[in-house]
């Protein structure tokens, strides 16, 4: 019995993932269509409607983080920091050029701006961080994430005819006529045009999916996975480990930045608080990645959607909902990962299969 079990595991064949890739796009598109129909027919509460954009940007962040955790194999607990960078840089762009461009163009450029800055931060942080290993790397990414959040929270930034004014300690004094406040310290950024809606967010999600899924099936993707599986062997076959690590980390940060851009453009006041961009948010995204399956992009999206909406679905249970949520999380982890449960599941599976054969 045990032996057969092992044999069936051994022959477990990795199917070409082409079909699975396409199914991911289909799932996302279907979810979009379903929600749009529900909205059009007024079958969805306005509260629920407000959750759709966050659900999508957390899914995007999870896709980005999965590239780092699942494909590159490095644990990051700082991705909320990259979201923060993407959100603030893009929102500032939108505010500065609020009157210059028509809304779609402005949002597109803001998106590019947010992604570029998040990528730049990912690149600069990646260079020192990726020299570390395992949990040390994780705690340093957490540290960088917290630094980004705290510094932006303390930052006063504005400009007037005399140029740019910035301070980390006190509000900047600007010329009354020409002055424009960009970031008002802990009060953050206000009055951003709300350019991000559900459909736009879905498009960004599809593009992130396209990038990550295609990357995984390219030369670069294979090199990145080879480093994850065995760094020393990867070096021995001529793979530039540092280069590919930084490359993957940068793209991962850029995608988190895109999620941040949507975040920043879906609320009117953007603040760099712990509740928005603290390590708890990085952990929240990590939970989606692990529960959806490390390295499984489709799983990340489904887990993000389900887990983000779950507390809302439990709303009827009022104050017990977060308690239930945490228990569900623990039970799901045990069910998915505990070796004893896994063995039990596969043996049950064998039994069912054999019964069918008879």
Partner 1 sequence: MALLEVNHLSISFGGLRAVDDLSFSIEKGELYGLIGPNGAGKTTVFNLLTGVYSPTEGIIKLGDTDITGKKTIDINKEGIARTFQNIRLFGKMSVIDNVKVALNNSSEFYYGSLHGILHTPKYHRIEKALEKRALELLEVFDLDKERDVLASNLPYGKQRKLEIARAMATEPKLLLLDEPAAGMNPNETAELMNTISLIRSKFGMTILLIEHDMKLVSGICERLTVLNFGKVLKQGETKTVLNDPEVIKAYIGE
Partner 2 sequence: MSMNFLTYLISGISLGSIYAIIALGYTMVYGIAKMLNFAHGDFIMVGCYVVFTIMGMFNGSAVGKIAGVFVAIIVCTLVGVITEKIAYKPLRGASSPLAVLITAIGVSYLLENAALLIFGSDPKSFTSVVPWEGVAVKGLKIQGVTIVTIVVSVIVLVVLQLFVHKTREGQAMLCVAQDKGAAMLMGINVNKTITITFAIGSALAAIAGALQCSAYPALTPYTGAMPGIKAFVAAVLGGIGSIPGAMIGGIVLGVIEILSRSYISSQLADAIVFGVLIIVLLVKPTGILGKNIQEKV
131 part of the interface to partner 2, by CB under 8 A: yes
In contact, 162 and 99? CB cutoff 8 Å:
no
User: Which option in partner 2, partner 1, none does residue 194 bind, with CB closer than 5 to 8 A by kind?
Assistant: none
Q: Which residue stretch of 51-59, 181-189, 216-224, 331-339 sits at the interface with partner 1 (rule: CB under 8 A)?
A: 216-224
Dihedral sign (CA 283, 249, 123, 111): negative
Integer Rg of the chain from CA: 22
Total residues in contact with partner 2, by rule CB under 8 A: 49
CA distances from 222 to 15, 66, 300, 334 (A): 16, 15, 20, 30
Q: Which residue stretch of 50-58, 124-132, 214-222, 325-333 sits at the interface with partner 1 (rule: CB under 8 A)?
A: 214-222
- What DSSP state is assigned to residue 17? T
322 part of the interface to partner 2, by CB under 8 A: yes
CA distances from 331 to 227, 287, 304, 339 (A): 32, 13, 17, 14
Q: Is 64 helix (H, G, I), strand (E, B) or coil?
A: helix
Q: What is the DSSP string of 120-186?
A: HHHHHHHHHHTTS-HHHHHHHHHHHHHHHHHHHHH-EEEEETTEEEEESSSPPP--TTT-EEEEEGG
What does the per-residue mask of binding to partner 1 show for 8-27, with x meaning CB under 8 A? -xxxxxxxx-----------
CA distance 21 to 173: 53
What does the per-residue mask of binding to partner 1 show for 266-295, with x meaning CB under 8 A? -----------------------------x
Q: Which residue stretch of 24-32, 155-163, 240-248, 262-270 sits at the interface with partner 1 (rule: CB under 8 A)?
A: 240-248
Q: Which two tokens stand for residue 237?
A: 């076959």
Total residues in contact with partner 1, by rule CB under 8 A: 35
48 part of the interface to partner 2, by CB under 8 A: no
Q: Restricting to residues 323-342, which ones interact with partner 2 according to CB under 8 A?
A: 323, 325-327, 329-330, 333-334, 336-341
**Which one among 86, 185, 188, 221 touches partner 1, defined by CB under 8 A?**
221
CB of 233 to partner 1, least distance (A): 4
In contact, 152 and 183? CB cutoff 8 Å:
yes
226 part of the interface to partner 2, by CB under 8 A: no
Q: Which two tokens stand for residue 69?
A: 């955790």
Which residues would be at the binding site for partner 2 (CB under 8 A)?
A: 69, 75, 128, 131-133, 135-136, 138-140, 142-144, 146-147, 150-151, 153-154, 168-169, 186, 232, 279-280, 283, 286-287, 290-291, 294, 319-320, 322-323, 325-327, 329-330, 333-334, 336-341
């Amino acid at each position: 019995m045990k032996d057969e079990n092992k044999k069936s595991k051994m022959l477990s064949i990795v199917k070409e993932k082409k079909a699975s890739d396409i199914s991911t796009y289909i799932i996302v598109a279907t979810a979009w269509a379903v929600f749009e129909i529900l909205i059009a027919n007024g079958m969805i509460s306005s509260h629920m409607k407000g959750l759709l954009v966050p659900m999508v940007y957390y899914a995007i962040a999870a896709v980005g983080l999965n590239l780092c955790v699942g494909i590159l194999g490095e644990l990051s607990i700082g991705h909320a920091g990259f979201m923060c960078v993407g959100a603030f840089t893009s929102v500032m762009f939108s505010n500065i050029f609020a009157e210059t461009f028509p809304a779609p163009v402005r949002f597109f450029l803001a998106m590019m701006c947010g992604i570029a800055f998040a990528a730049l931060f990912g690149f600069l942080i990646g260079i020192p961080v990726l020299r570390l290993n395992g949990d040390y790397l994780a705690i340093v990414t957490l540290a960088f994430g917290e630094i980004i959040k705290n510094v932006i929270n303390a930052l006063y930034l504005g400009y007037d005819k005399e140029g740019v004014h910035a301070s980390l300690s006190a509000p900047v004094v600007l010329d009354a006529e020409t002055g424009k406040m960009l970031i008002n310290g802990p009060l953050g950024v206000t009055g951003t045009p709300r350019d991000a809606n559900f459909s736009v967010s879905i498009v960004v999600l599809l593009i992130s999916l396209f990038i990550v899924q295609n990357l995984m099936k390219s030369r670069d993707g294979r090199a990145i996975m080879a480093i994850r599986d065995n760094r020393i062997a990867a070096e021995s076959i001529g793979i530039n480990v540092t280069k590919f690590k930084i490359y993957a980390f940068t793209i991962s940060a850029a995608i988190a930045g895109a999620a941040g851009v949507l975040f920043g453009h879906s609320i009117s006041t953007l603040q760099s608080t712990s509740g928005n961009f603290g390590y708890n948010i990085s952990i929240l995204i990590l939970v989606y990645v692990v529960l959806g399956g490390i390295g499984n992009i489709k799983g990340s999206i489904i887990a993000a959607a389900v887990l983000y909406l779950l507390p809302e679905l439990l709303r009827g249970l009022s104050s017990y909902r977060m308690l239930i949520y945490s228990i569900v999380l623990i039970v799901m982890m045990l069910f998915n990962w505990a070796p004893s449960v896994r063995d039990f599941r596969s043996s049950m599976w064998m039994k069912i299969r054999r019964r069918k054969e008879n």
